[in-house]
Amino acid sequence: MEILFAPLQGYTEAAYRTAHHRHIGGIDNYYIPFVRLEHGKLLRRDVRVLDRAAADRGVLPQTPQIIASTTAEAAAVVLEITSRGLGHININMGCPFPLLANKGKGAGILPHPDKVHALLDEVLDRATGAGATVSVKMRSGWEKMQESMALLEILNPLPLTHIIMHPRLGRQGYKGECDMEAFARFENECEHPLYYNGDLTTAADITRITSAWPRLRGVMIGRGLLADPALALEYSQGAPMPRVARLAAIGKIHTDVYAEYEARIEGGQSQLVKKMQAFWEYLLPEGDRKAHKAIRKATTTDAYLRAVNTLLAGA
Ligand SMILES: Cc1cc2nc3c(=O)[nH]c(=O)nc-3n(C[C@H](O)[C@H](O)[C@H](O)COP(=O)(O)O)c2cc1C
């Protein structure tokens, strides 16, 4: 039973993944938020993302992810990844953001089996030629769950290593319940190793899913891990991490992430504070609500760090 850390653009960046792995762990693989082409080139930010992933090979188990709608785009991004010696590529067919989905990227590609087929063929061709393997992260559909069922005809025969299924529709965004019936039907007919993804926030949630579907290769968790970074470890060890130890570990992760952004971010204190505020958005070490508010309101690093210290002191 593997546990994968889901990619969340803006939250699970390299600094966070590295610090989480160092101070808590319990994760089999960290998925990197998608990289993409814009105007025919990788974004500068994404060049850094892939260079860093290549540098961290062997230190941090992680998987780069691409998002693309055309075969030309996909071929170019795959080359960026394989030329850096990264050996596995995940294809995003789940992103619901309209700006991308309207261009047939992410979940926007799901209603178009012909486009999915062309994209996967291209990525598999290029990746395999360079010695890399390929997996897919997808939703149950854009408009209706029948879309993912129809895609199984294409997906099943292809040499994918695995599929990660988030059983929501693209048009739902992140709202509403996961559709467990859609997941059950997909699981029943999917011939690839499968991971479940969506709304797992406690060790009991993970157990519920893995008992219901014993054939699963594992689960992928995003927001649940950001809220409780020890969740995977707690599941595998069968016991909750004591509160004091958890706060201490969160403190260490925070110190590393802060140090990295402090060294890198240009644009002064307010930029740094803004960037760090995202660290706390999902994270709720049960504690001082006043300190939480102070973190959100801080505009200087002094005020920010004072609030963080109060929160982590275990109020
Ligand atoms: C802010 C945000 C950014 C995300 N970025 C990505 C991404 O880059 N790639 C991806 O495949 N999924 C992305 N996701 C989806 C998550 O990986 C995950 O599938 C989703 O949050 C459901 O899992 P969870 O309930 O465990 O968080 C993002 C989700 C959110 C809320």
Q: How far is the CA of 197 from the centre of ligand 1 (A)?
A: 9
Q: How far is the CA of 313 from the centre of ligand 1 (A)?
A: 30
In tens, the pLDDT along 171-204 reads: 999 999 999 999 999 999 999 999 999 999 999 9
Closest ligand 1 atom to Cα of 223: 27
Closest ligand 1 atom to Cα of 92: 11
φ and ψ at 116, to 5 degrees?
-60, -45
Alpha carbon of residue 200 to chain centroid: 13
In tens, the pLDDT along 255-281 reads: 999 999 999 988 889 999 999 999 999
- Joined together, the tokens standing for residue 11 give 């939250």
Q: How far is the CA of 7 from the centre of ligand 1 (A)?
A: 6
Give the number of other Cβ atoms within 10 Å of residue 51's Cβ: 13
Rounded CA separation 315/306 (Å): 13
Write the residue with the smallest CA distance to atom 21 of ligand 1. 222
- Out of 16-30, 146-160, 271-285, pick the least confident: 271-285
Instruction: Name residue 88's beta-bridge partners.
Output: 133
HSE (side-chain half, CA atoms, 13 Å) at 47 = 5
Mean pLDDT of 230-253: 94
Rounded CA separation 32/92 (Å): 11
Closest ligand 1 atom to Cα of 201: 26
Does residue 232 carry a pLDDT above 60? yes
Q: How far is the CA of 96 from the centre of ligand 1 (A)?
A: 10
Q: How far is the CA of 163 from the centre of ligand 1 (A)?
A: 15
Instruction: Name residue 134's beta-bridge partners.
Output: 89
Cβ–Cβ < 8 Å for 233, 24: yes
Rounded CA separation 124/274 (Å): 39
Does residue 314 carry a pLDDT above 80? no
Cα dihedral 59, 277, 241, 22, rounded to 10, equals 10
Q: How far is the CA of 303 from the centre of ligand 1 (A)?
A: 30
Closest ligand 1 atom to Cα of 6: 17
pLDDT score for 286: 64
Closest ligand 1 atom to Cα of 220: 26
Burial class (CB in 10 A: 0-12, 13-18, 19+), 263: exposed
In tens, the pLDDT along 28-62 reads: 999 999 999 999 999 999 999 999 999 999 999 99
Q: How far is the CA of 25 from the centre of ligand 1 (A)?
A: 19
Mean pLDDT of 214-241: 96
Closest ligand 1 atom to Cα of 221: 26
Ligand 1: list residues with CB < 6 Å: 6-10, 33-34, 65, 92, 94-95, 137, 166, 174, 197-200, 221-224
| Residue 112 DSSP code | -
Does residue 315 carry a pLDDT above 60? no
pTM: 0.97
pLDDT score for 291: 83
Rounded CA separation 188/169 (Å): 19
Cβ–Cβ < 8 Å for 5, 225: yes
Mean pLDDT of 107-122: 98
Ligand 1 mutation target, pool 4, 5, 9, most atoms within 8 A of CB: 9
Percent of all residues in the chain with a pLDDT value above 90, rounded to a whole number: 91
Q: How far is the CA of 247 from the centre of ligand 1 (A)?
A: 25
H-helix segments, 200-267: 203-212, 223-227, 231-237, 243-264
Closest ligand 1 atom to Cα of 226: 27
pLDDT score for 138: 98
pLDDT score for 290: 84
Does residue 296 carry a pLDDT above 70? yes
pLDDT score for 285: 62
Nearest to 95, CA basis, from 30, 157, 36: 36
